[in-house]
Structures are given as structure tokens and as C-alpha cells.
Amino acid sequence: MAFGNVNVSYKPCKSVGQLKSAEKYMLGKELSQIKSGVIKTQPDLYMALGCDRDNFSNNVLVTRKLHGKSYSKMKENNILAHKMSISFHPSDRRAAGGKLDYRMAFDIAQQFAEKFMHEKGHEVLFAVHTDSKHVHVHFLVSNCNMHTGKSYRRNKKDLYNMSEYFAEKCMEYGLENSVREEFYNHDKENMRDKITFAEKKMAERGVDSFKEELREAIREELQNPANKNFDDVVRALWENWNVETRVAGNTISYRHPEYRDKNNNLVSVRGSKLGDLFTVKGINYEFAKKQSILNANLSDTRTVEPNNATGRIEPFMETNPLHESRRTASGRGQISSYADVRNNEPNQRSLDGFYDRYRKTSGNHQQSASPTASRDERETVEVVEPPKRVRSKGAR
């Protein structure tokens, strides 16, 4: 099974201003683009299906009016158009020795737009962008069906089918580097937190929700240089924060050590409810990106033999961390199993006497006991500071 890189923007156009601004950006007609000399696309590299390519926004508004749909004011559920893109790997460009040129990208984009948008009754504008090292195509899809007036719907299965179809087209045109084994349905370079309405209200009062406290703990462990992979983060969350973690396939859940529901049960929350970064794929992607940056830095400092006329090796222009396979290791699942392995200590720790949760892990180092010390002396030396706690502000 193979997949192509299909990205969906979760910020659709909800007003006429946003719709026209998105259209201008796609076609390189923004005033700032014109003044700076940026050329986003070419006249033969953009097209519209179901409407005029140079009057897309107005055509969308006319279609909505014909079906009695409003568009004068920006409302929460009033979506005028959706944004989407497909992108190719830089190694497939003809300039890099590959087969991809702009016209080929246009042909693939046209087939993609016809199958998943226009055939379903929706007007669509797409443009091949030529101003970056990786060739990519932007799409604007009208939310109102030309024939029925119904909204444009896409779910995870639809995105899966889009990515699979795009991969088939890439293979058909010999663009092997633009295909990967893993499917994902969001833009990992722009991962966002999922903040609920209740959390927003709490934040206005200066109070952190238990979800926000979990996010803070996870972010700190992701930034900790001692953690090299997904399993390191899972282990560190237990050891340093007393946050229990459950992993089942591609799903991860975090249990807050203090927050309880109305039945006095400890509360768990899935990573997908916290945000894109806190899922299994999000954490793995974060480490893959760090490794990519590290490899690029090493390439920049690498030297070659004197007989090379250039005197240096050109670093790889762009690394795609999405090609990295997801790491797996034994011991995943309920994280309390890590505590069982460590000195046979009980896996349920007391919450009494915990230090402030913001004390840094680096300050927890202890001196090692002498090999010749008595057992009581060793136990005295090996007593470590209890793990930091993730607790609600009201309990402080």
C-alpha cells in the first residue's frame, strides 16, 4: 500500500474576504506578491472546473445565491470554500534528475480535482506553484454543490482514498520519491492544540485545565535532549510526572495523576483530544524532524577528499522525515510496567510529599553509593526526589 502527500487546511474560507484573499494568494495576485516580484504560478498552470478560472470567488457566491445559501457575514458554520494541497518530493523534480516538471504536476492535479471535487458537483480552482524547491498544487473547493446545494463533505476515509489515488498517479508517472508507506491526514508542519470552549473560558480566568497541564508535561519531555524516541517520552512521563500512559496501536491516552471526575475516578484523555502533536504519529514525527535537522547539520560540516574539484559535498536539499518508519518496542501499553522493572518497586506511587511540578528534571541527579557501602547506606544515597506532579492550580 502506498500513499501520496495530501494536506488539508483546517481553516476554511468563512467570509467573502477570506475567499477572495485565498484566490489571490493562489494565483499570485496579492499586492504584496506583485510588489516583491513573487511569481506563484503561470497562466498555463492554473485552471478551474465548473466555473471561470479568473472569476472563481464570484462564481462560488452566485452558486450559493441560487441555492439560497448565505454568505454576507462570517459565521461559525458558514463555510464558503475549503483549502487543500498536494505536494511532490524535491528529488522527483527534473532539475534534480527526476521526471517531474510543472506540466506533469498540472496533469496530475487536474485528474485529482476532476475525480474528488468536480465529479461530485463542486466548483474547484487549482494552481501549480513554482516558487519553491518542492512542486506543489493548491486547491480551493466550493462548499456548495452546483446541483443540489449540499455542502462538500470529506471524512478520514475520503482523505485516505485521496492519498492512495495520488500515490497511484505518482507511480504511474514514475515519481517514486513522492510516495510513502504511511498515511496521515493532517499537515504535520502546522500541528495545533485542540482547545475546547470550556478550556478557553478557564484560560480567560487564568486557570489551566487538566488537559493543558498534560500538554505542558508532554512538551517538556519532547524538548528534553535525554529523550530520543517515543518510548523515552512515555517512560519519562511516568518517572518525572507520574502520568500513566496507555498505547494501543496508533492510539495513546494519558492519565492525569490527580484530576478526578464526579465519581472520584482518575481521568484519562486521548492524545488526539489534546492536539496533533500529542498523538503517536505526532510524537514520532517530532523526533523524525529533529533527526532530519541533525542529519542536515552534519551534512553541512562534512568534507571530502582534495581531488574533488568543488572541495565539499552538497547537502541533501530537503529531507522527508515522513519516510521514517514508526518505531516500535516491547513494553508498550500500560506504562506502569516500566515501574515494575525498576528495582521491583510497586507501580502505584503515593502522591504525598511531591515537590513543585516545575522543578527541572536536571536537578534530580543523585550521587552514587560506594560499592562497599552497607545496604542501609546505599538505600540512603539512592533515595531520589519524587517525580514532579501534574496537578490543577486550585490544589496549589
Domain locations in the chain as residue ranges: 5-185, 197-281+328-395
168 membership: H or E segment, kind and range: helix 156-172
Alpha carbon distance 342, 335 (integer Å): 12
pLDDT in tens, 145-187: 999 999 998 888 899 899 999 999 999 999 999 998 777 544 5
Predicted confidence (pLDDT) at residue 332 exceeds the cutoff of 80: no
Beta strands across the sheet bearing 251-260: 244-248, 251-260, 266-270
Which has the minimum average pLDDT: 6-10, 264-268, 295-299? 295-299
What pLDDT, on a 0 to 100 scale, did the predictor assign at position 186? 47
Extract the C-alpha cell encoding 66. 441560487
Instruction: Please name the residues in contact with 382: beta carbons below 8 A apart, sequence gap of 6 or more.
Output: 366, 369
Extract the C-alpha cell encoding 133. 524547491
What pLDDT, on a 0 to 100 scale, did the predictor assign at position 106? 98
What pLDDT, on a 0 to 100 scale, did the predictor assign at position 25? 95
pLDDT over 70 percentage in the chain: 72
Neighbours of 312 (CB within 10 A): 11
What pLDDT, on a 0 to 100 scale, did the predictor assign at position 126? 98
Instruction: Please name the residues in contact with 327: beta carbons below 8 A apart, sequence gap of 6 or more.
Output: 229, 230, 231, 284
254 membership: H or E segment, kind and range: strand 251-260
Predicted confidence (pLDDT) at residue 295 exceeds the cutoff of 70: yes
Which has the minimum average pLDDT: 28-32, 123-127, 185-189, 217-221? 185-189
Task: Please name which of 115, 121, 171 lies closest in space to residue 146, comparing C-alpha atoms.
Answer: 121
Predicted confidence (pLDDT) at residue 330 exceeds the cutoff of 60: no
Alpha carbon distance 310, 308 (integer Å): 6
- φ/ψ of residue 88, rounded to 5: -115, 155
Alpha carbon distance 224, 236 (integer Å): 10
The mean of the pLDDT values for the chain is 78
Question: Within the chain, what is the greatest distance between any pair of CA atoms?
Answer: 88
268 membership: H or E segment, kind and range: strand 266-270
What pLDDT, on a 0 to 100 scale, did the predictor assign at position 388? 52
Which has the minimum average pLDDT: 120-124, 136-140, 203-207, 377-381? 377-381
What is the CA angle 254-288-236, rounded to 5?
35
Grade residue 57 by pLDDT with cuts at 50, 70 and 90.
very high
pLDDT in tens, 104-122: 999 999 999 999 999 999 9
pLDDT in tens, 342-358: 444 444 333 333 334 43
Burial category of 93 from C-beta neighbours within 10 Å (exposed 0-12, middle 13-18, buried 19 and up): buried
What pLDDT, on a 0 to 100 scale, did the predictor assign at position 169? 96
Give me the residues paired with residue 83 across strands. Answer: 140
What pLDDT, on a 0 to 100 scale, did the predictor assign at position 184? 56
Extract the C-alpha cell encoding 127. 494552481
Which amino acid belongs to residue 389? R
pTM: 0.52
Decide if 328 contacts 100 (C-beta within 8 A).
no
Extract the C-alpha cell encoding 84. 487543500
CATH of domain 5-185: 3.30.930.30
Predicted confidence (pLDDT) at residue 374 exceeds the cutoff of 80: no
What pLDDT, on a 0 to 100 scale, did the predictor assign at position 299? 63
pLDDT in tens, 88-97: 999 999 988 8
- φ/ψ of residue 312, rounded to 5: -160, 165
Task: Please name which of 87, 184, 79, 190 lies closest in space to residue 140, comparing C-alpha atoms.
Answer: 79
Predicted confidence (pLDDT) at residue 392 exceeds the cutoff of 60: no
Residue with cell 557501602: 373
Alpha carbon distance 166, 6 (integer Å): 8
